[in-house]
Amino acid sequence: ITFGKIYIRIFTKTYRIINNINILNLRYKYNDYPIGFILYLEHIARKHFM
C-alpha cells in the first residue's frame, strides 16, 4: 500500500514536469527537439516507475 502511494506521488510529479515542458513548447512553438525530449522523459518515467 505504501509503495503504491509513493509510486503515485512520483508519477504525478513527473507527469506535472512533462506537462510544464509541453506548455513551454506550445508557448515557444519549437519544432522537433522538444517533442523528442518529452518522449525521452516519458520513456525514462516508464522505465523507472512502471
CA distance 32 to 39: 11
The per-residue pLDDT for range 21-33, each reduced to its tens digit, is 777 666 655 455 5
CA angle 2, 40, 6 (to 5 degrees): 5
Task: Supply the pTM of this predicted model.
Answer: 0.36
Using alpha carbons, select from 25, 50, 48 the residue that is nearest to residue 37: 25
The full DSSP string for the chain is -HHHHHHHHHHHHHHHHHHHHHHHHHHHT--SHHHHHHHHHHHHHHHHH-
- pLDDT, position 6: 76
